[in-house]
Structure 1
Amino acid sequence: MKILITGGAGFIGSHLADYLVEKGYDVKVVDNLSFGSLENIKHLIGLKNFEFIKGDLRDSNIALNSVKGVDVVYHLAANPEVRIGEQSPDSLYDLNVYMTYILLEAMRKNGVKKLAFTSSSTVYGDAKVMPTPENYAPLEPISIYGGAKLASEAIISAYSHTFNMVSVSFRLANVIGKRSNHGVIHDFIEKLKKDKDKLEILGDGTQSKSYIHVKDVIEGMFYLFNKTEEKGLTYDAYNVGSEDQISVMDIAKIIVNEMGLNPKIYLTGGVNGGRGWVGDVKYMLLSIEKAKSVGWKPKLNSYEAVKKAVREALGKE
């Protein structure tokens, strides 16, 4: 089986490439390296079952060439920054929605019928039910990023039903771990490296969300995609997260402890009731009962995942 990973030089994509190559699949990665890095996949280049294409999937010719001869596409290529929506909605549309359409067209023209898509918990917006199940409604994203992910889910579902594809959207909690170059853990560590005596926290510090280690995400996506095929479904969506939450203040405490520091912590107070930024979902906890019902759950809870990710970022693991 030949598998294409879009955005495969990025944080999550490179871990997926590692996982699939190790399992013996023929893996092709396409990435324009705007958010990804060759450093993440350099150990794979030269292996007989790995191929790298540097290219932008918004170019239909590159998309057509990338999907040629593959059996399954894992679509991870995207602008990963939630906060950019306030300043640059056009980038999120271009890289998250339009690119998905170009990829789907390339798949249709090449007869590629299987797609796994990394969506996001942000499609739920400020959910009134927590833990939030996949059938929660109405879906009201409060960030441009969340809206772009939901739009991509919709067009993937439409293509799947219209052109007889099998596809799954994975609504991910906050994914953390080695090779991540954005998010709260990365931001806090970088701030403390610049000034060990103070740490600024965006918002009021009570924001509480579910975190999942990238290793659990990869295993979850692979397992759940195979289960969807077994069930003979055209389209499905799964939450992929942990079963608990951790506050931004507790994350700061873990980082400070692991770095052996004692900084003064400053809270900005935030916007719109203590959020870190416009579009920040203050509280998020996904229900993973659907995934558990078919045999998957993460190995680490949020606290364990954060501690492991912090140690990885500091070179301790």
Structure 2
Amino acid sequence: MSKILITGGAGFIGSNLTEYFLAKGHQIVVLDNFVTGHRQNLNDHVDNPNFNLIEGDIRNISDCQLAVSGVDYVLHQAALGSVPRSIKDPQTTNDVNVTGFLNMLVAARDAGVKRFIYAASSSTYGDSESLPKVEDVIGKPLSPYAITKYVNELYADIFSKTYGLETIGLRYFNVFGRRQDPNGAYAAVIPLFVKKFMNHEGPVINGTGDFSRDFTYIDNVIQMNELAMTTDNRKAVNTVYNTAVGDRTTLNQLVGYLKEFLTNYDSEIAKVEVVYGPNRQGDIPHSLASIEKAERLLGYKPTHAIREGLKEAVTWYWDNLK
């Protein structure tokens, strides 16, 4: 069993990782400042002797140093997400995603952490129009958020080459699933749409609905984090991987799936109409990942395609939002 630090462990992805690795018997330290994470996501673990919560901020190097003490692995999820938020407030996004990331790298290096696995982003592909997205072919970033996530990859690469810190970046593609927050100004599209439909309100699609994404269920992301942490393939470390399914779904198709599954609980949802609005600044038209590298070097095998993931997610939202 290992001691694992999960930064942002009260958030959507972080709390799912916390739950999974605690269930496998690992010791888990969570570092979170609760700006976007929620205490309720960790309530089930507070009495677990293998769980330790540190309320702190990755922008404070002392908090990072405290959190990594005695840790074997870091799963770094803490960040300020959202392209629109980064456009509105680029400085805070940079402070958290770049300065905070560098603080964590320095603390992990100095503490002798075995491996540093971090949440990278598909936004790094920027204006590259090639499909599917392959890890070593990227374009220019289209938002401050995308810049910060690309800088993370550059810093991780330098720390690997200069200090010998093993790093693996996971470029998440539109992750969704249980505990993803449907509230707030920067809620992700799937929980936001689910909430709207459940309230019999028409969700707003930016554009015509033809934009497509490689929507990735949370269980696939958990698998990738575990593979990245445990691999003993020397060719598999100090690099980045697409973390996705390798399939794309348009927003119009997404709405159709959500209506299909939600009408099993409320037939009136079938009558709710979608509202179409203007395209959103910083959005790319299409996103589709190649997962060949992860399959070849890590043995990755996604367990949930879009429909399987959405069916499970809708069930969770219905049970927890009603």
The 5 A counterparts of 1:122-271 are: 122-137=123-138, 139-181=139-181, 182-194=187-199, 196=200, 198-227=202-231, 229-231=232-234, 235-257=238-260, 258-259=262-263, 260=267, 261=269, 262-268=271-277, 270-271=278-279
Cα 1:232/1:197, change in 2 over 3 Å:
closer
Match of 1:9 in 2: 10
The 5 A counterparts of 1:280-291 are: 280-291=283-294
Q: CA deviation at 1:34?
A: 0.6
Cα 1:199/1:19, change in 2 over 3 Å:
closer
The 5 A counterparts of 1:98-117 are: 98-117=99-118
Q: CA deviation at 1:112?
A: 2.3
Amino acid at match of 1:116: I
* Matches of 1:291 and 1:233, distance apart in 2: 9
After superposing on structure 2, the runs of 4+ consecutive aligned residues of structure 1 that deviate more than 3 Å are: none
Amino acid at match of 1:9: A
Question: Does structure 2 conserve the Cα–Cα contact (< 8 Å) formed by 1:119 and 1:169?
Answer: yes
Give the SS at the match of 2:52.
strand
* Matches of 1:243 and 1:233, distance apart in 2: 19
Normalization by structure 2: what TM-score? 0.90
* Matches of 1:190 and 1:154, distance apart in 2: 37
Give the SS at the match of 2:170.
strand
Amino acid at match of 2:152: S
Give the SS at the match of 2:233.
helix
* Matches of 2:201 and 2:60, distance apart in 1: 47
Normalization by structure 1: what TM-score? 0.92
Q: CA deviation at 1:143?
A: 1.8
* Matches of 1:202 and 1:219, distance apart in 2: 31
* Matches of 1:113 and 1:104, distance apart in 2: 12
Question: Does structure 2 conserve the Cα–Cα contact (< 8 Å) formed by 1:161 and 1:234?
Answer: no
Q: CA deviation at 1:232?
A: 5.6
Match of 1:296 in 2: 300
* Matches of 1:234 and 1:161, distance apart in 2: 12
Q: CA deviation at 1:42?
A: 1.0
Question: Does structure 1 conserve the Cα–Cα contact (< 8 Å) formed by 2:74 and 2:115?
Answer: yes
* Matches of 1:102 and 1:71, distance apart in 2: 17
